[in-house]
Amino acid sequence: MRKKLMVAGIAAGLLTVLGPGSVDTPWQATASACEEGAAEERIPFSMPLAYSSDVVTKQLYHEQDGRLLIEAKTFSVTLSGKYMGYYPQLQQTLKRISKENRRHLSKVLRSWRQDLDETYELRRHDYALHKDEVPFTYEESYSGLRADSHVFSFACSEYSYLGGAHPVLYYKAVTIDTRTGTILKLADVLQHTDGFAAVIADEAIAQQEYRGQLPERDEAIRLIEQMIGDDSLVFGLDDDGMKVYFGNYALGTYAMGTMVVNVPYGAHGDYFRPKYIFEGIRAKG
């Protein structure tokens, strides 16, 4: 599986004319002087970039009968062509993340080896009735959110079924400063976090179809504040705002399921640092 985001025609033309050292030069005026002489940060103009993601697969077989126990998947991501040269720090960060993904996949398979063998042995008869099915599953699926001259952001759903009562779904997300290659924390993206937990909770209540499955508003705010405080809130940025991800058990019981909450720039722009708000040419692909 290979996924590509291609540069919009006008942006491609601009970047072809401009050299790597001058990329985005027409749009780099990100600050203007106030009357008092202080710098006022402005929203920069962003242009899309091209990248690709690939699925990385590892398999684990039962040592005695050779049955495929699990086909585990993760992903790698890389900039395409000339963008490696335009944004070398970003490319290095993506390369490191891809390497860590492969290393993590190998590690979890080694750690699960004995448990998967034992579970398979206990249920060998049941699994024999479904010879064409792989008994266990682990998959990290890539989902691109934003890829431009200021922000590169993606999310990853982590789905696993290891023989228990039900599968489990968690989320990961990464937001990177395109120019520096720095992985951004929430405090890097926001100007302040005061009241932001309430913003997320209220957006969740407004967006959730089955609101009765959510915890009470005060409890949701408390849980989200805790995530913000210990830097475990899972978020990404797209062209329209922030996406906040809640996997199984993040805000309640398994029955509540998972949830993705949109926090739009338009309604909550005062929270975001202007340099990470999107304004520019949207990617096509």
pLDDT, tens only, 2-38: 444 433 333 433 333 333 333 443 333 333 333 343 4
Query: pLDDT tens-digit profile of 214-244?
Result: 889 999 999 999 999 999 999 999 999 999 9
SS3 at position 36:
coil
pTM to 2 decimal places: 0.83
Domains and CATH numbers, the chain: 2-276 (3.30.565.40)
* Model pLDDT, residue 129: 61
Q: Are strands 136-147 and 241-246 parallel, antiparallel or unpaired?
A: unpaired
Q: Tell me what the pLDDT averaged over the chain comes to.
A: 85
DSSP state of 271: G
Contacts of 6-13 spanning 24+ positions with Cβ under 8 A: 6/50, 6/283, 6/284, 6/285, 7/47, 7/48, 7/49, 7/50, 7/283, 7/284, 8/47, 8/48, 8/281, 8/282, 8/283, 8/284, 10/281, 11/47, 11/48, 11/281
Instruction: Name the packing angle between helices 196-207 and 217-229 (round to 10°).
Output: 130
Q: Is the Cβ–Cβ distance between 171 and 155 less than 8 Å?
A: yes
Q: Report residue 83 as tokens.
A: 């963008």
* Model pLDDT, residue 250: 82
- If we measure between CA atoms, which residue out of 228, 226, 225, 233 comes closest to residue 259? 233
Q: Is the Cβ–Cβ distance between 118 and 130 less than 8 Å?
A: no
CA 141/CA 172 separation, integer angstroms: 10
Q: Which pLDDT band, with edges at 50, 70 and 90, does 254 fall under? A: confident
CA atoms within 13 A on the CB side of 261: 26
